[in-house]
Structure 1
Amino acid sequence: MTISAAASAVLAGLADMRAEQEELYRSLHQHPELSHQEHRTAATVAEHLRRDGFQTHTGVGGTGVVGVLRNGTGSTVLLRADMDALPVREQTGVSCASTATGTDSTGAEVPVMHACGHDVHVACLLGAARLFAGSPGAWRGTLVVLFQPAEEAGDGARGMVDDGLAGIVAGVDVALAQHVMALPAGSVGTHAGPVLSAADSIRVTVHGRGAHGSMPQAAVDPVVLAAMIVVRLQTVVAREVPPTETAVLTVGSIQAGTRSNVIPDSARLLLNLRTYSADTRAAMMAAIRRIVTAECQASGSPREPEFEIYDSFPLTDNDPATTERVASAFAEFFADRAGTVPQQSASEDFSDIPRALGVPYTYWCIGGIDADAYRRAERAGRIAQDIPVNHSPLFVPVLQPTLDTGTQALVVAALAWLAR
């Protein structure tokens, strides 16, 4: 049976479940939950999986859910979706817009929104799971569906691994995942090799000597020191990273002082680093330490600077053979709606799962923006201005064909290993 024939058999029930899947999406969108707090979402997922006959494991890594469906001998394919939302106040104006609030890790009450499309991911994977459960004659092997918490925090995948995921999903042959992006709805795109950057957030504290604003000669001013560090850090990518490499270094925050006439005794900088190779990451980390330390010495700092890496995301490096297999299946099923996507400077923690399991993986993108609106913006050269991107309070994928395409993509990709 060809992949297209198997896909047609598995996807035969898509039209019948479409209304229910769309309503599920609306419910997920209207009830978003922050990282590590996905209790309602996890309960919904577990309920659907049990109904469809999956062996269901809950509480993996906190709020993670894993479903296993065995259908004879064959390959074991893992499909993953992330579940958490963001502390963003929704401004989309859609009928199912979120008005939810939550408590973040600092104890503050914040608005909550599915501003990154994880509600789409959950709805699509639950749809694919139901379709596979309803068509055992079209495939064989084992399907593992994994619903991961805390992707936005960067530690949800590791949490599931540390909580014994390998024992639950023993024998996985390949791991697959997707993400809805600000691309034309109905499109799918693959990319072999590094596709999402590794990311590190670094907290740098530099020390000065406080004094009255009228007596700067008595101070070592950490505000000036921080400003010099920011300027010098701009040379790292421009002058220390080869032009053939891609990297980003951003200073996202500087905090120092409380009043205009008080020179503080310290300043804190928050840096974000994006890289696509271990060598470039190591070189940039070394450059940051060298520059900060040298500027502190030049300013006469009374204490050494402090460095803390407080958030890290792994590189997403798609296995070429796995990617080619999925891309060929997509080309067969989607025809001209399938293509490639360029490297993205966003980051993900999905790859922690296949890396821990020791299996190859690929991660692709689906579009979620109205295709006509996207093309109008493209013709006008206004994509950056007119098309909301992930994490924007205005980002909301169009319902269709986004859900259909995401569901189809998961089914077709899995069938590249599971088709009879």
Structure 2
Amino acid sequence: MKYFNLALLCGCLATSMLPGRALAQESMQGAIEKDWPYLQSLYTHFHENPELSFRETQTAERMATELRSLGFEVTTGIGGTGLVAIMKNGEGPRLMIRTDMDALPVKETTGKSYASKIIGENYLGAKNLPIMHACGHDVHMTALVGTARRLVAMKDQWAGTLVLIGQPAEEIGLGAKAMLDDGLYTRFGVPDFNLALHVSAGLPAGVIGYTAGYALANVDSVDIEIKGVGGHGAYPHTTKDPIVLGAYIVTALQTLVSRSVDPQAPAVVTVGSFHGGTKHNIIPGNVHLKLTVRSYSDAVRQTLLDGITRIAQNQARAFGITEDQLPVITVEKDYTPSTYNDPALVKRAMTAIADQIGEKNVREMPAVMGGEDFARYGRTKEKVPGFMFWAGAVEPENYAKAKASGETLPSLHSAFFAPDAQKTITTAVNAMSAAALNVLEKTNDG
């Protein structure tokens, strides 16, 4: 990671030191710190009461109550359990800020006094699942409310339309699509810009990370059903062994990244599951493979998906499998598209954030191969510019100790993930408020 160089980015470092601006920065920071007891209570509530994807009914109700109390016009039930909150404040840009709301089926082991003890069911009906906000969506929601509170208190400093959305089902990659399919843009207007944030388990609290351009990956789930001819393990010559065929397919798939994709284009093909057979001496009739496929560009994505089909079917032909028994390849329809952070919006937002929290607290980050369905809001025909940044969540002392010792810190989705709530949330509110004020900045004649 490297520190963000504000002077190179915007060429206006000196202006950020003007006395009036410095006072405004201190004033907003001070207001956020004073608001912490309120935000702490809200964060604790969200953390203690997590809900799974498309089951965020109580969460959405609390979010709606918070935003209505600030004067937003709130509509619930968008995309299932999503909500849209709108505040108009004169002529100006239309800015959408998104938070996700769902939690994960994880049994919390943080030892926090407010640790989740919730047991619930998922949208498919599976019951008795422990539930935890192990990906920081409780932080995201609290930060969105905190940002709303700051922007309402500072309405004289911005102009335009502020659209805040609470999105369901990010963890299963379906929530953004559900909201768009339910008319997010057609019913509530197309934004000029989209912003979001996500906690980082790899940055200390108090630090904001950013990536311009591709930031997160296309995520595809692929299943390969391999058919063979089963039989007795003592007489393999009478069979067409799908386990051996599967092993050849897994090995050949490794050449997709190394030989079919430009070495400078990131790509991942991982076989995460290989299931077949029931007994030592029986050659099964079929084998099932489960893959995760990651890429940034749509062209590389298509190369990988086409290559999986080509390799699986031609390996089967080489094993003498007939055309009507070739492997069946299924690509999950609702994939997660790659997140592309608009460089111009990144430059603009990060200039404001660095002005607000200090250049030393902003870091450029490498892109990662994880996925986030926030990307979908920029994938419509309107091509709305978007930017998602990272809010460091690790207690700074623990971060420093881990860096010195080489210890691995709990990751997102870990039962041990416990963010430094106060520093993470107040920094996130500070950063998002600064970015929003920049986007919605009043013109001289406004």
The TM-score range, normalised by the shorter chain, is over 0.9
The 5 A counterparts of 1:238-249 are 238-249=258-269
1:351 to 366, 375, 381: 375
Q: Distance in 2 between matches of 1:282 and 1:140?
A: 42
Q: Distance in 1 between matches of 2:144 and 2:138?
A: 10
Deviations 1:264-298 (A, max 9, x none): 21111110011011121111112211111122112
For structure 2, list consecutive stretches of 5 or more residues without a partner in the other structure. Answer: 1-17
Q: 1:400 offset after TM fit, Å?
A: 2.1
* 1:209 equivalent in structure 2: 229
2:105 to 62, 87, 93: 87
Q: Secondary structure at the match of 2:354?
A: helix
Q: Distance in 2 between matches of 1:125 and 1:410?
A: 8
* 2:210 equivalent in structure 1: 190
Q: 1:117 offset after TM fit, Å?
A: 0.7
Letter in 2 for 1:215: Y
Cα RMSD (Å) of the superposition?
1.9
* 2:144 equivalent in structure 1: 125
Q: Distance in 1 between matches of 2:242 and 2:24?
A: 65
Deviations 1:360-404 (A, max 9, x none): 11111110011121122222333xxx2111112221211120010
* 1:410 equivalent in structure 2: 432
The 5 A counterparts of 1:363-402 are 363-382=388-407, 386-402=408-424
Q: 1:42 offset after TM fit, Å?
A: 0.5
* 2:244 equivalent in structure 1: 224
Q: Distance in 2 between matches of 1:47 and 1:363?
A: 25
| Contact map agreement 2:158 2:437 (CA 8 A) in 1 | yes
Q: Distance in 2 between matches of 1:60 and 1:4?
A: 40
Q: 1:12 offset after TM fit, Å?
A: 5.0
Q: Secondary structure at the match of 1:307?
A: strand
1:25 to 38, 43, 61: 43
Q: 1:258 offset after TM fit, Å?
A: 2.4
User: Does residue 309 of the first structure (1) align with residue 327 of the second (2)?
Assistant: no
User: Does residue 43 of the first structure (1) align with residue 68 of the second (2)?
Assistant: no
Q: Secondary structure at the match of 1:203?
A: strand
User: Does residue 325 of the first structure (1) align with residue 348 of the second (2)?
Assistant: yes
Q: Secondary structure at the match of 2:59?
A: helix
User: Does residue 162 of the first structure (1) align with residue 181 of the second (2)?
Assistant: yes
| Contact map agreement 2:277 2:283 (CA 8 A) in 1 | yes
Q: 1:13 offset after TM fit, Å?
A: 3.2
For structure 1, list consecutive stretches of 5 or more residues without a partner in the other structure. Answer: none
* 1:62 equivalent in structure 2: 80
Against the structure 1 CA distance between its residues 165 and 254, is the aligned structure 2 distance closer, same or farther, given a 3 Å change threshold? same
Q: Distance in 2 between matches of 1:173 and 1:8?
A: 29
Q: Distance in 2 between matches of 1:314 and 1:168?
A: 23
Pick which of 268-277 and 346-355 moved more: 346-355
Pick which of 5-14 and 342-351 moved more: 5-14
Q: Distance in 2 between matches of 1:8 and 1:43?
A: 33
Residue-pair matches, total: 417
Pick which of 82-91 and 173-182 moved more: 82-91
Letter in 2 for 1:339: R
Deviations 1:293-343 (A, max 9, x none): 122112223401111112511110111111100111112111110121110
| Contact map agreement 1:3 1:419 (CA 8 A) in 2 | no
Against the structure 1 CA distance between its residues 15 and 191, is the aligned structure 2 distance closer, same or farther, given a 3 Å change threshold? same
Q: Distance in 2 between matches of 1:261 and 1:105?
A: 40
| Contact map agreement 1:188 1:365 (CA 8 A) in 2 | yes
Letter in 1 for 2:421: L
| Contact map agreement 2:54 2:123 (CA 8 A) in 1 | no
Q: Distance in 1 between matches of 2:431 and 2:314?
A: 51
| Contact map agreement 1:330 1:412 (CA 8 A) in 2 | yes
User: Does residue 153 of the first structure (1) align with residue 153 of the second (2)?
Assistant: no
Q: Distance in 2 between matches of 1:417 and 1:106?
A: 40
User: Does residue 334 of the first structure (1) align with residue 357 of the second (2)?
Assistant: yes
Letter in 1 for 2:163: V
